[in-house]
Structure 1
Amino acid sequence: MPHTSQPLHRRAALRASIGLLCGLSAHAVLPSLSWAQSSPASASRSAKSGLPKIVAVGGAITECVYALGAQAQLVGTDTTSVYPSAAQNTPKVGYMRQLSAEGLLSLKPDALIASGEAGPPAVIAQIRAAGVRVDLLEADHSWAEVQRKLLAVGEATQQLPRAQALLAQLDSQWAKAQAHVAAFAGKRPRALFILAHGGAAQVAGMQTAANAMLGFAGAENVMRGFSGYRPMTAEAMAAAAPEIILTSTQGLDAMGGEARFWERPELALTPAYRRRALVHMDALELLGFGPRMPATVLALSKRMGVA
């Protein structure tokens, strides 16, 4: 089973994955999408055109801006916005839950498009009071979440027809990915997602992005008796008996790589350990619920043996 990936720069990637996993491989780019690189010249043209200036908070929201070719309208992003690589060079407004009104308003945006977890609430209220349009988008770990993000970005950037056209393509790709999973005649693999950063390890239960992605890809999450994340224990591992383990590339790096990962004693009690069945993908790609999601679900299902 292949385990290769192209991780982001360590610091930026860890920020992205932690932001996603608290709210929340290779960078598989959809064939129909092109994330163009912004330039000072294009930014100047955008300013002269009178198009709205945007701050995007949330890695997947920033991806939507680039997917629509509206990156010249970006005046700032948060620290989870690391894909495409050009997004790492945008002015940063901090971590999504710790925004500063002063710093954000200094960028003079017309609109803030953010995850519903952005905050603190008092800062969001200050930004609204300053006359900035604020769109906070609900995260419910569904395909509808991706649709909402793309359409909200399209409206805020005045690129709604382009967003609707792209969404039609993505809806078709999503239907094909789900049909692929539905056609699988084999046994659904029993899978477990491990979140590991800074040495701590937790497992994903219900109502998490990881649980949703496992289901979309045709796997069964073995941790079904609770919601959110819980510490990983030997007793839980033995009882759950996962056949395959999924984690983020950044989390795997934080644990010292694949060899060190399998040295954790609690994993030795699982069928996955005997097979060394491990799949890892970039955190933002896997859990961001952005425009790469149809391709990501298809790739994940194949790597977990749902083919």
Structure 2
Amino acid sequence: MQLLRKTIVFIGGIALLGSLAGCASAAPDRTGESPVTENTQTATPSEQLPDPRELTGLSEVAEVPPIEPIVKSPTPVLPVTVTGDDGVETTIDSADRIVTLDIYGTTSQTLIGLGLEDNIAGRTISDISPQIADVPVVSGDGHAVDVEAVLSVKPTLVFADTTLGPASAIDLLRNSGIDVVVLSPDRGADLIAEQIAAIAEATGIPDVGAKLIERTQTDLAAAQEYVASLAPRSGEPLRMVVLYVRGNAGVFFIFGKGSASVALIEDLGGEAIAANAGLGETVPATAESLVQIDPELILVMSDGLKSTGGLSGLLERPGVAQTTAGANERVVSVPDSQLISFGPNYPAALRALGDAIYRG
């Protein structure tokens, strides 16, 4: 799987990538156990499932349970010196108050998985995991970092990446004496372990990180095998596309080559038709471009679909009804936190997506 470099793109002050964060439903306390491997459901052989091309109508992906910490309240061994994705070396003395600054919410998901949810002192609007619902939001409109809001929560450590602007925010925080570790903005199933390891190392709990990686990798392999058993074993894969929509004005985009949607679609056994047609990372979803790629299935964020008037509103967008997916109303609505998460909850999100796509 190719390395997927994601950078935030703003149009008219609005971030193109919406809220991509943790999970949002309740779950029993099973610390250290995997909610994915606990699932006793076995995949129905694909020949017993309906032909996915014969399915029609809107499918809504189920919300997955919150991430279970691998341990509770681990004790960090600090100080530790790490080198961030920007090449800057940072010595971290305390992880008592952590602020997470990434548009996907993946950093906070990982910290929760490591058992450090009580150490999170500030989050972005993308971090919607129920465990940190009461933690102050330190991002402003359009997912921009509010430096004053970050400083107001008195962080001892900030995790950031390049998915949030402005670019000067990191320098301002460092000049204020805050330890800032820049993480990679790359996202993909094959990068989850690397991401967990980096965060665990910086918080002084690498052994806990190794346990979370082992659990997540086991869950991921099982989820990928499960989804593969759902996908048809013969014929061409479904042509899929991820669309980003907000409201009824100009915020309507196709995620193409270089976006994290490619890795997601590949894991779902589909064809990333926008990338294969040569469309760039984020391009306007015009009638011409949609008809050109002619997806058989459209993936959208639930909040985005709601904002544009639901399925009927989406179908009224230029070009949507003229695609095969539009004609069949074959749209899959995914909780915003699950569409392109690629954190410890990704295996569970992948299973839920597979069910919606292939079971209907």
Give the corresponding residue for 1:18. Answer: 18
Residues 1:148 and 1:118: Cα distance change in structure 2 (over 3 Å) = farther
Q: Which amino acid aligns with 2:212?
A: L
Give the alignment's Cα RMSD to 1 decimal.
3.1
Q: For 1:16-95, what aligned pairs fall within 5 Å after superposition?
A: 18=18, 20=20, 25-29=61-65, 33=68, 52-58=96-102, 59-82=105-128, 84-95=129-140
Cα displacement (A) at 1:291: 1.2
Q: 2:245 aligns with which of 196, 209, 222?
A: 196
Residues 1:270 and 1:35: Cα distance change in structure 2 (over 3 Å) = farther
Q: Is the 8 A contact 2:16 2:244 kept in 1?
A: no
SS in 2 for 1:192: strand
Deviations 1:262-284 (A, max 9, x none): 23352221221232211111122
Q: 2:166 aligns with which of 112, 120, 141?
A: 120
Cα displacement (A) at 1:219: 0.8
Give the corresponding residue for 1:206. Answer: 257
Cα displacement (A) at 1:182: 4.6
Range with bigger deviation, 130-139 or 252-261: 130-139
Range with bigger deviation, 73-82 or 92-101: 92-101
Q: Is the 8 A contact 1:170 1:291 kept in 2?
A: yes
Q: Which amino acid aligns with 1:57?
A: L
Residues 1:118 and 1:268: Cα distance change in structure 2 (over 3 Å) = closer
Q: Is the 8 A contact 1:197 1:251 kept in 2?
A: yes
Q: Which amino acid aligns with 2:96?
A: P
Cα displacement (A) at 1:202: 1.4
Alpha-carbon separation, structure 1, partners of 2:293 and 2:244: 16
- Structure 2 unaligned runs (5+)? 1-13, 22-60, 74-93
Give the corresponding residue for 1:239. Answer: 292
Alpha-carbon separation, structure 2, partners of 1:289 and 1:227: 21
Cα displacement (A) at 1:17: 5.5
SS in 1 for 2:298: strand
Are residues 1:268 and 2:314 paired?
no
Give the corresponding residue for 1:44. Answer: none
Q: Is the 8 A contact 2:97 2:157 kept in 1?
A: yes
Alpha-carbon separation, structure 1, partners of 2:17 and 2:256: 17
Alpha-carbon separation, structure 2, partners of 1:118 and 1:233: 26
Give the corresponding residue for 1:5. Answer: none
Q: For 1:140-289, what aligned pairs fall within 5 Å after superposition?
A: 140-182=186-228, 184=231, 185-186=233-234, 187-199=236-248, 200-224=251-275, 225-289=278-342
Q: Is the 8 A contact 2:256 2:274 kept in 1?
A: yes
Alpha-carbon separation, structure 2, partners of 1:126 and 1:232: 36
Alpha-carbon separation, structure 2, partners of 1:16 and 1:238: 22
Q: Which amino acid aligns with 2:177?
A: G
* Number of positions where the alignment pairs a residue of Structure 1 with one of Structure 2: 278
Alpha-carbon separation, structure 2, partners of 1:198 and 1:74: 32
Alpha-carbon separation, structure 1, partners of 2:156 and 2:258: 33
After TM superposition, the score normalised by the length of structure 2 is: 0.68
Alpha-carbon separation, structure 2, partners of 1:204 and 1:133: 34
Residues 1:139 and 1:128: Cα distance change in structure 2 (over 3 Å) = same
Residues 1:238 and 1:144: Cα distance change in structure 2 (over 3 Å) = closer
- Structure 1 unaligned runs (5+)? 1-13, 39-49
Q: Is the 8 A contact 1:190 1:242 kept in 2?
A: yes
SS in 1 for 2:115: coil
Which structure's residues are more often helix, by fraction? Answer: 1
Give the corresponding residue for 2:356. Answer: 303
Q: Which amino acid aligns with 1:18?
A: G
SS in 2 for 1:266: coil
Deviations 1:37-63 (A, max 9, x none): 99xxxxxxxxxxx75321111211111
Residues 1:204 and 1:119: Cα distance change in structure 2 (over 3 Å) = closer
After TM superposition, the score normalised by the length of structure 1 is: 0.79
Alpha-carbon separation, structure 1, partners of 2:111 and 2:331: 32
Alpha-carbon separation, structure 2, partners of 1:36 and 1:171: 17
Highest RCO, 1 vs 2 (Cα 8 Å, sep ≥ 6) = 2
